[in-house]
Amino acid sequence: MSLINKMLQDLDARGTPDGRGDAAGIRSVPERERGLPRALVFGGVAGLTAVAIALGWVYLKRPAVPPVLVNVASNPVPVPVPAPVPVPVPVVPITPVPVPVVAAPAAPVVVAEPKPALEAVKTVAPARLRDAEIRRITGKPAKPAEEHVAKVAVRTAAPAASDRIIDGKQVTPQQRVENAYRRALAQLQDGRVSEALLGLQQTLQLDPRHQGARETLVRLLLEAQRPDEAARQLQLSLTLDPKQPAQAMMLARLQLDKTNGGAVALDTLMRSLPYAADSGEYHAFLAGVLQREQRYREASEHYQLALQAAPDNSVWWMGLGIALQADNHPAQARQAFERAKGLQTLTPQLQAFVERKLVQLAAAK
């Protein structure tokens, strides 16, 4: 600092007329009033320079950032794909797996198109590397191609020819029949008789042996005064299954209303007789038809079989008495009439008829 003070004094002296400076006006700057020391300034500049050089060195010598594997398969944001670069692709031979063919031609197997990112991995990498990539991305080992093909074949197999898919559900033929029958009953309950008739006929087209639909259809046809159609439905049912005594009796009643229909009705009843051995009503009805055809001995036999099931039926006792009297068995006929009269269950008209028969038999002695 003394050098600087001396230079200032010289300059001041050169600036005065007499070549002397105003010694009184010039004084040395005290150490406290001077600015920052030059050494401190130079040191700061040198420190900043060193820091900048160090940062530049660190930046230039920074290690390369390791690549981060990103699961692009689940990333919905589309990534621009650079222009394709021809890369030699190793060809991996794939052995075709025989898939068992189910009856009827199988539907074509449709495999969903793979996602672009996963497809790129599968195309560029060899089979071994591809499995490693899939294991790293999904966390699960890659499954063999054979298992994948088998599962796709099972999932896309066509339904059986006997089944249908309704509202996404597989419906069997029996379920279709029951659905049609329930719809017909619902229409009948709502009073839509014509629609119910069509629904019942559709049910029988699907399953001709559906007895519930058959009996309901016959009843509706009879209520609609269409006996010929009802008889035709009963004949179809008995042709398919003669083990239906109730339908045989219903058909026989319809046939008896026709001219010379007794023989046809008798033939209908005889075909179903083996399946009605324990039915007293069936034997009694058959006995009445036999009696109408003047086959009295057979009629009395079936009346007796009917009375074994219901011994207190006064109408059947009366029918037995008529058959025995016509077959020239007056004593047995009188006993049958007396039993019918004694039960006191006949209508007044039938009761009077039995009493007249008793008087006739008493007079014939």
Residue type, 289: V
> Are 242 and 272 within 8 A, CB to CB?
yes
* Sign of the four-CA dihedral 80, 83, 87, 89: positive
Q: In the predicted model, what is the mean pLDDT of residues 196-208? A: 90
Tell me the per-residue pLDDT of 286-298, one tens digit each, with 9 for 90 and over.
999 999 999 999 9
Check residue 79 and give its pLDDT: 47
Q: Give the pLDDT band (50/70/90) at residue 211.
A: confident
| Residue 238: CB atoms within 10 Å | 18
Q: Give the pLDDT band (50/70/90) at residue 51.
A: confident
Which one, of 140, 115, 141, 116, lies nearest residue 128 by Cα? 141
Tell me the per-residue pLDDT of 179-188, one tens digit each, with 9 for 90 and over.
989 998 998 8
pLDDT surpasses 70 at 148: no
d(CA 245, CA 211): 13
Burial class (CB in 10 A: 0-12, 13-18, 19+), 77: exposed
Which one, of 269, 267, 294, lies nearest residue 279 by Cα? 269
d(CA 252, CA 246): 10
Q: What is the mean pLDDT of the chain?
A: 73
Check residue 135 and give its pLDDT: 59
Higher per-residue confidence, 308 vs 46 = 308
Q: In the predicted model, what is the mean pLDDT of residues 168-174? A: 76
Check residue 94 and give its pLDDT: 46
**Residue 223: left (phi > 0), alpha (psi -120 to 50), or beta?**
alpha
Q: In the predicted model, what is the mean pLDDT of residues 341-345? A: 93
Tell me the per-residue pLDDT of 33-50, one tens digit each, with 9 for 90 and over.
455 567 676 777 777 887
Instruction: Please give the span between the terminal C-alpha atoms of the chain, in angstroms, as a whole number.
Output: 182
> Are 322 and 291 within 8 A, CB to CB?
yes
Check residue 355 and give its pLDDT: 95
Buried b (16+ CB within 10 A) or exposed e, 178-190: bebbebbbebbee
Check residue 99 and give its pLDDT: 43
pLDDT surpasses 50 at 152: no
Check residue 64 and give its pLDDT: 56
| Residue 244: CB atoms within 10 Å | 20
Q: In the predicted model, what is the mean pLDDT of residues 214-219? A: 91
pLDDT surpasses 90 at 132: no
Higher per-residue confidence, 176 vs 102 = 176
Check residue 24 and give its pLDDT: 47
Most confident of 88-92, 95-99, 172-176, 242-246: 242-246
E-state strands within 163-317? 164-166, 169-171
Q: In the predicted model, what is the mean pLDDT of residues 335-339? A: 95
Residues contacting residue 315 through CB under 8 Å, at least 6 positions apart: 340, 346, 350
Check residue 4 and give its pLDDT: 60
Check residue 9 and give its pLDDT: 63
Q: In the predicted model, what is the mean pLDDT of residues 312-331? A: 95
| Residue 73: CB atoms within 10 Å | 15
d(CA 204, CA 213): 7
Check residue 85 and give its pLDDT: 45
CA atoms within 13 A of residue 163's CA, in its CB half-sphere: 10
Check residue 350 and give its pLDDT: 95
d(CA 150, CA 161): 21
d(CA 32, CA 310): 146
H/E element, 325: helix 314-326
Helix/strand/coil for 88: coil
Q: In the predicted model, what is the mean pLDDT of residues 189-214? A: 89
d(CA 236, CA 223): 19
pLDDT surpasses 70 at 310: yes
> Are 229 and 221 within 8 A, CB to CB?
yes
Check residue 340 and give its pLDDT: 95
